[in-house]
Amino acid sequence: MKRRAAGEDVLDLALDEPRMHTSRILVEAAQRSMQQSNAVASSDAGLLELRVAIARHLSLLSGGRPVNADNIVVSNGARQALFGACFSLFDSSDEVLVPAPTWDSITQTVRLSRAKPVLISGDVEWSLKVGVDQLNRAATPDTAGIVLCSPVNPTGAVYTKAELKAIVEWAVERGCWVVADEVCRRIHFGSDAAPSVLDLADELLGRVVVVGGPSKTYALRGWRLGYSLASSSVARSMATLQSHVTGGAAVPAQRACVAAYSDERVESHLKRRVEEIRNRRDLTVAHFREHMPGVEFVDPLGGIHLLFRVDGCFEFGVDSAKRFCERLLGEKGVLLLPADDFGASGWVRLTYAVPERELSSALDRICELNPAASGETN
């Protein structure tokens, strides 16, 4: 950001990744790979060693269910995995349901895959999640699939196993595909990883593609590594597509992720990292409840974001979420992200996975702009 680079006092809470350090274990694994790079080859679907590590990792997260490494494709980031799934499954005659609010790259990826995204508004009383009733109202004969994200970016809402089961059963009954974005599955504030479609019975998973990646969980932002798990035929199609578009992911990043998904020291580090993020989340929620009780927000149960409503600030000259963010940046030096492009007009996304001192200062400055908290009146 230009203002921050110029030395101005700007607190950036608009990031889409946690601002935390990458484990030295992962860095060293990548360094060792670079020293041996001339002797290492990788298939377009990824190193077998990494695909086996991911399969074992997913198996352990879902009670030991069998996961076939041959059905995993390692990609140049989770976005490419998402694109590969959508391009392989959908065409120009298809509509794809996308619960909103949603990460804006999901809708754009569906468009790039030639299909038409259909946004479905979630229920405010249900943490802006959607259920079968909303899917039924939005579905048409052209509906070919649904892209479902949990934990949700930008709300932090988490679908329960029962909710996931109902949605996947709905899709199976209609012959639709489910693309499940589970990038933040490990950043969950329950007792374990967030519920997953992989927790469901085998007979429900024939038309499901799971997308994941290490960027948020293991602080590997910019390493460009993601993966997908699909049926054999879909995985082959995605690997073939990838071979002609980019080829396989960079080997050093893959070697780092072998350590991420198999080294117990990294697992211990991850648990500490999630606890740190949970503490930042608790600080943020407590601050909103104590100092901005009139501001509506989604209680995040996972992920790194909090989505809050700014309608209550409109009476003092703010007529949109964009204008709220502009005023907050201009007057208080805090950068947030308006959620209009996420399908949530009037809402703003805040990232709490930043150093605690910066987070506390930013929250104080947001309070200063809020009339209910500051005592400002018209």
The enclosing domain of 363 has a CATH number of 3.90.1150.10
In this structure, the answer to whether residues 219 and 366 fall within a common structural domain is: no
Question: Residue 171 and residue 149: Cα distance in Å, rounded?
Answer: 15
pLDDT at position 316? 56
- The separation between the first and the last C-alpha atoms of the chain, rounded to the nearest angstrom, is 33
Whether the ω angle into residue 101 lies within 30 degrees of 0, i.e. cis, is: yes
- Shared domain for 132 and 9, answered yes or no, is no
Rounded to the nearest integer, the mean pLDDT of the chain is 91
Highest mean pLDDT range out of 5-9, 92-96, 373-377?
92-96
Q: Which tokens hold the place of 214?
A: 């290490």
Same domain, 258 and 121: yes
What's residue 225's pLDDT? 95
Q: What value does the mean pLDDT take over residues 77-101?
A: 97
Query: Do 41 and 101 belong to one domain?
Result: yes
Residue 290 burial by CB count (10 A; 0-12/13-18/19+): exposed, middle or buried?
Answer: exposed
Helix ranges (DSSP H) in the chain:
2-5, 24-35, 48-61, 78-89, 104-112, 132-138, 161-174, 232-245, 251-262, 264-291, 321-332, 356-369, 371-374
* Number of domains into which the chain is organized: 2
On whether both 55 and 10 belong to a single domain, the answer is: no
- Give the rounded percent of residues in the chain with a pLDDT score beyond 90: 79
Cα-Cα-Cα-Cα dihedral of 106, 108, 112, 117, to 10°? 70
Sequence-ordered list of residues with C-beta below 8 angstroms from that of 369, at least 6 positions apart, any chain: 313, 327, 328, 331, 332
User: Vertex 150, ends 56 and 135: CA angle to 5°?
Assistant: 125
pLDDT at 264: 92
- By the 10 Å C-beta count (0-12 exposed, 13-18 middle, 19+ buried), 360 is classed as middle
Residue 122 pLDDT more than 70?
Answer: yes
Q: Mean pLDDT, to the nearest integer, of 330-334?
A: 94
Least confident of 3-12, 211-220, 230-239, 350-359: 3-12
Average pLDDT over residues 113-139: 96
Note the pLDDT of residue 233: 97
In the predicted structure, residue 377 carries a pLDDT above the cut 50: no
Across 112-129, average pLDDT = 95
pLDDT of 378 above 50: no
C-alpha to C-alpha distance for 250 and 333, rounded to whole angstroms: 37
The mean pLDDT of 86-99, rounded to a whole number, is 97
Taking only the tens place, the pLDDT of each residue in 5-58 is: 555 689 999 998 888 888 899 999 999 988 875 555 668 899 999 999 999 999
Residues near 120 by beta carbon (within 8 Å), at least 6 away in sequence:
97, 98, 99, 100, 130, 134, 135, 138
Same domain for 196 and 79, yes or no, is yes
Choose one of 228, 262, 296: the last residue of a domain.
Answer: 262
Of 262, 297, 312, which one is at a domain's C-terminal end? Answer: 262
Place 376 in a pLDDT band, splitting at 50, 70 and 90.
very low
Same domain, 305 and 209: no
Q: Is 307 helix (H, G, I), strand (E, B) or coil?
A: strand
Q: Which residues pair with 145 in a beta bridge?
A: 96, 177
Q: Is residue 375 very low, low, confident or very high in pLDDT (cuts 50, 70, 90)?
A: very low
Nearest partner of 219 among 259, 270, 275, judged by Cα:
270
pLDDT band at 366 (very low <50, low <70, confident <90, very high): very high
Which two tokens mark 24? 């030295």
Q: What b/e string do you get for 34-71 counting C-beta neighbours within 10 Å, with b at 16 or more? A: eeeeeeeebebbbbeebbbbbbebbbebbeeeebebeb
Do 280 and 257 lie in one domain? The reply is no
Residue pLDDT, tens place only, 201-224: 999 999 999 999 999 999 888 899
Same domain, 122 and 34: yes
Predicted TM-score (pTM) of this structure: 0.93
Q: How far is CA 236 from CA 70, 231, 239, in A?
A: 9, 9, 5
Same domain? For 147 and 108 the reply is yes
Helix boundaries (H) for 139-231: 161-174
What is the CATH classification number for the domain harbouring 157? 3.40.640.10
The parent domain of residue 302 ranges over 2-17+266-374
Digit-coded pLDDT (tens) for 268-319 = 999 999 999 999 999 999 999 999 888 899 999 999 999 999 876 655 556 7
| 106 and 216 inside one domain | yes
Last residue in a domain, options 262, 288, 306:
262
Are 168 and 225 in a shared domain? yes
